[in-house]
């Protein structure tokens, strides 16, 4: 694991809407919002349900299962010094079993092996002392 | 999925573009953005046969990378700038600012309005170059995973289209090659070297499914137009180009910023799908009536989504529509006759308005579409955008 000083990639800055999500990641739990009124999930988190407008939202632990909705293979690093050792890397829009989409990286397989609807499962990665990112690997 | 019907632009042919102006397009202007904005605006005012004192409104859009409207009004010594407004927006606003000028005039806030976009897009603030590294707000869900640049954003949309409909590299390449053919004939274009399909296929992979030649240029430069009422336009120096119709908007869940598309329902369709009805209804014409189309092409793929969204072909058919040659200069829908953002330059889509006006005036020289009477301009590629129908 890199020391915090050495980690040059963008780190998420939690805000009042997102703090429970990032706190969950630190405990290796994928937390998403659930609407107590219409029973649907949403991501990213908000102060209000995007489906029905309710403010009665609670945090539920997601199963961690998902599939590839879309993906890209980054080959040209931007900024170069930060990502030069990572290319090629895969960013995917992951469709969680709970019905929401979440951007993440697909790790644990070659970029060429990623296909649409490929089953995935969450794999947490600690990147700084404070930050754990929810990545995904083939299920 | 449908979209709620709403009121559409209702000022058909009542306003006109009466002047256009540009600077040179380059990779390093060596000038301030303010100077570029003033030069393009002064050129547009003079093209209209007017003086700065005849202008009383000025409107632009930027990402904190430009000179604000009051700076240009000050530089030009516009004595009474009533409607001096800056939109904090991307290419999605390139047509919206013209429509907003019309709205301002209709509301009595101004009589004659300059609209411009000015940027040192290569030597100064590079929009494609990445975002800040403290991932705040919507960026906290994207940037930590190395999903940072606009090419990376749009590649995700393109892949989804590919999953749903199939899309070959050659189908994207046809766009790049066709637009370059137009740029070769355009003295303003930054890229005038002919491009073959082999050149396209050999260009460097940037972010699958995009190669280098799928991605627009980065440009220092500025464009401006002058908008006024059709009544005033009649006595001016140039033949007016009338604004028949226009629309701005997108679908549900447009996101927390221009990059954010996490909640967007279907990435094989963009904003154009949602504004098409308003646009055509406002102008009282159909896709078949368009003689020339200047379609926002930050990426090759952007053109495919808009051809389908605006109804020039069916969903999933744009690749073959383009392969059949329809978007070539001699095809049934000549697209981006100046070379587009891909080959002319990237003035954030505002250069499309300039080209449409020149085409309708018959001033496009060797790249002129014969007898072009009705033009489409579009602006935007993702969840929100704007478009206009213009006529001579
Ligand atoms: Zn709800």
Phi, psi of A91 (to 5 degrees): -110, 130
Q: Provide the percentage of residues in chain A whose pLDDT is more than 70.
A: 96
- Inform me whether the C-beta atom of residue B359 falls under 8 Å from chain A C-beta atoms: no
Residue A74 touches chain B, beta carbons under 8 Å? yes
Q: Looking at the structure, do residues B74 and B154 belong to the same domain, yes or no? A: no
Is residue A3 in a domain? no
Task: Quote the ipTM score.
Answer: 0.96
Closest residue to A72, CB basis, from B135, B156, B163: B156
What is the model's pLDDT at position A6? 79
Give the C-alpha separation, B292 to B102, whole Å: 23
User: Within a domain: residue A8?
Assistant: no
Residue A121 domain-assigned?
A: yes
The Cα diameter of chain A in Å comes to 47
> What's the CA gap between A4 and A22, in Å, rounded?
17
Average pLDDT over chain B, rounded to whole? 96
Q: Enumerate residues 6+ apart whose C-beta is below 8 A from B355.
A: B294, B336, B337, B338, B344, B364
Segment B1-26, tens digit of pLDDT: 445 567 899 999 999 999 999 999 99
pTM of the model: 0.96
- pLDDT at B133 (0 to 100): 72
| pLDDT tens string B289-325 | 999 999 999 999 999 999 999 999 999 999 999 999 9
B128 vs B216: CA distance, rounded Å? 9
Q: What share of chain B has pLDDT > 90, as a percent? A: 93
The structure tokens listed for A104 are: 């993440």
Contact A78 B205 (CB under 8 A): no
Percent pLDDT > 70 in chain B is 98
Q: How many Å apart are CA B129 and CA B153, to the nearest integer?
A: 12
Residue B272: what pLDDT? Answer: 98
Which residue among B130, B145, B204 places its CB closest to the CB of A103? B145
B336 and B267 co-located in one domain: yes
Q: Quick one: average pLDDT of B60-69?
A: 94
CB contact under 8 A, A15 and B263: no
Q: Do A105 and B146 touch (CB under 8 A)?
A: yes
Total domain count, chain A: 1
- Altogether, the residues listed in chain B come to a count of 392
Chain B residue numbers touching A69 (CB-CB < 8 A): 160
Give residue-wise pLDDT tens across range B159-199: 999 999 999 999 999 999 999 999 999 999 999 999 999 99
Domain-terminating residue out of B173, B205, B233: B233
User: From ligand 1's centre to the CA of A29, what distance in Å?
Assistant: 22
Q: Is residue B1 part of a domain?
A: no
Q: Is the pLDDT of residue A2 over 70?
A: no
Predicted confidence at residue B126, as pLDDT, reads: 83
DSSP state of B371: T
- Domain stops at, among B172, B200, B233: B233
- The answer to whether position A61 is within a domain reads yes
> Which of B233, B268, B287 is the endpoint of a domain?
B233
Nearest-angstrom CA–CA distance, B208 and A48: 35
Question: Which tokens in the block code for residue B161?
Answer: 């289209």
Is B130 domain-assigned? no
**Would you call A126 an interface residue with chain B, using a CB distance cutoff of 8 Å?**
no
Tell me which residue range forms the domain holding B361.
Answer: 146-217+244-392
Cα–chain center distance at B284: 22
- Residues of B annotated as catalytic are 296, 346
Residue B64: what pLDDT? 87
- Classify residue B132: in a domain, yes or no: no
As a whole number of Å, the CA-based R_g of chain A is: 16
Q: Average of pLDDT values for A75-103?
A: 97
Of B139, B146, B149, the CB nearest to A9: B146
Same domain, B203 and B274: yes
Tell me the CATH number at B309.
3.40.47.10
B115 and B163, same domain (yes or no): no
Please report the pLDDT score of residue B1 as a whole number.
41
Quick one: how far is CA B155 from the chain centroid?
19
Helix (H, G, I), strand (E, B) or coil at A126: strand
Residue B129: predicted pLDDT: 66
Which residues does B205 contact at the CB level (< 8 Å), separation at least 6?
Answer: A75, A76, B211, B212
Backbone phi, psi, residue B119, to 5°: -160, 145
| Per-residue confidence band for B130, with pLDDT thresholds at 50, 70 and 90 | low
* Residues forming a β-bridge with A68: A94
Q: Which residue of chain A comes nearest to B212, CA vs CA?
A: A76
Same domain for B173 and B204, yes or no, is yes
Comparing CA positions, the residue from A59, A35, A31 lying closest to residue A48 is A35
Residues B72 and B155 placed together within one structural domain of the fold: no
Q: Residue B192: what are its φ and ψ, rounded to 5°?
A: -120, 5
A47 domain residue, yes or no: yes
**Residue with structure tokens 């000083």?**
A5
Contacts of B152 in chain A (CB under 8 A): 72, 74, 78, 91
Which of A2, A90, A91 to substitute to test the interface with B, most B CBs within 10 Å? A91
Q: Is A69 in Cβ contact with B140 (below 8 Å)?
A: no
From chain A, the residues in CB contact with B131 under 8 A are 10
Q: Which of B141, B145, B153, B254 to mutate to test the interface with A (most CBs of A within 10 A)?
A: B145
Residue of B129, B163, B205 with shortest CB distance to A78:
B129
What is the DSSP track for B35-90? HHHHHHHHHHHHHTT--GGG--EEEEEESS-S--HHHHHHHHT-TT--EEEEEE--
pLDDT at B81 over 50: yes
In the predicted structure, residue A31 carries a pLDDT above the cut 90:
yes
Is B135 a domain residue?
no
CB of B263 within 8 Å of a chain A CB? The answer is: yes
Q: Tell whether B250 and B374 lie within a shared domain.
A: yes
Q: What is the pLDDT of residue B250?
A: 94
- State which residues form the domain around A56: 14-138
Number of domains in chain B: 2
Give A34 Cα–ligand 1 centroid separation in angstroms: 8
The verdict on A18 touching B (C-beta cutoff 8 Å) is yes
């Amino acid at each position: 694991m890199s020391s915090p000083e050495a980690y040059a990639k963008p780190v998420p800055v939690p805000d009042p809407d997102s703090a429970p999500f990032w706190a969950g990641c630190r405990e290796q739990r994928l937390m998403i919002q659930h609407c107590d009124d219409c029973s649907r999930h949403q991501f990213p988190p908000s102060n209000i349900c995007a489906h029905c407008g309710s403010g009665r939202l609670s945090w539920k632990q997601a199963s961690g299962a998902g599939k590839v909705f879309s993906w890209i293979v980054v080959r040209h690093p931007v900024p170069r010094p930060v990502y030069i050792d990572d290319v090629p890397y895969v960013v995917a829009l992951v469709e969680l079993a709970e019905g929401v989409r979440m951007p993440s990286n697909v790790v644990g397989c070659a970029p060429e092996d990623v296909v649409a609807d490929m089953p995935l499962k969450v794999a947490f990665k600690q990147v700084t002392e404070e930050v754990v990112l929810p990545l995904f690997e083939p299920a | 999925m449908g979209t709620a019907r709403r009121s559409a632009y209702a000022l058909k042919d009542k306003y006109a573009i009466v002047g256009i102006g540009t600077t040179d397009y380059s990779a390093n202007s060596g000038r301030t953005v303010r100077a570029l904005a003033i030069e393009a605006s002064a050129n547009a005012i003079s093209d209209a046969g007017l003086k700065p004192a005849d202008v009383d409104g000025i409107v632009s859009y930027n990402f904190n990378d430009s000179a604000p409207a009051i700076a240009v009004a000050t530089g030009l010594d516009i004595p009474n700038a009533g409607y001096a407004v800056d939109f904090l927006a991307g290419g999605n606003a390139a047509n919206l600012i013209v429509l907003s000028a019309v709205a301002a005039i209709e509301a009595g806030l101004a009589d004659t309005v300059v609209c411009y976009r000015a940027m040192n897009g290569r030597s100064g603030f590079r929009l494609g170059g990445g975002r800040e590294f403290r991932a705040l707000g919507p960026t906290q869900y994207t940037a930590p995973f190395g999903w940072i640049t606009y090419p990376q954003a749009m590649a995700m949309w393109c892949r989804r289209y590919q999953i749903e409909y199939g899309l070959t590299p050659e189908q994207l390449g046809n766009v790049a090659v066709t637009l370059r053919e137009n740029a070769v004939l355009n003295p303003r274009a930054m890229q005038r070297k002919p491009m073959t399909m082999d050149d396209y296929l050999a260009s460097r992979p940037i972010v699958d499914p995009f190669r280098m030649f799928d991605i627009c240029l980065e440009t220092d430069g500025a464009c401006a137009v002058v908008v006024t009422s059709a009544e005033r336009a009649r006595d001016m120096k140039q033949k007016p180009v009338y604004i028949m119709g226009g629309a701005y908007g997108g679908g549900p869940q447009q996101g927390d910023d221009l990059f954010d598309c996490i909640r967007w329902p279907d990435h094989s369709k963009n904003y154009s799908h949602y504004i098409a009805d308003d646009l055509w209804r406002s102008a009282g014409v159909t896709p078949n009536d368009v003689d020339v189309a200047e379609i926002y092409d930050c990426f090759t793929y952007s053109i495919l989504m808009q051809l389908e969204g605006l109804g020039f072909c069916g969903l999933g058919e744009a690749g073959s529509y383009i392969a059949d040659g329809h978007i070539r200069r001699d095809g049934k829908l000549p697209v981006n006759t100046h070379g587009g953002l891909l080959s002319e330059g990237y003035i954030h889509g505002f250069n499309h308005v300039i080209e449409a006006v020149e085409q309708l005036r018959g001033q496009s020289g060797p790249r002129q579409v014969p007898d072009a009477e009705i033009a489409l301009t579009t602006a935007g590629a993702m969840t929100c955008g704007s478009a206009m129908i213009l006529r001579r």
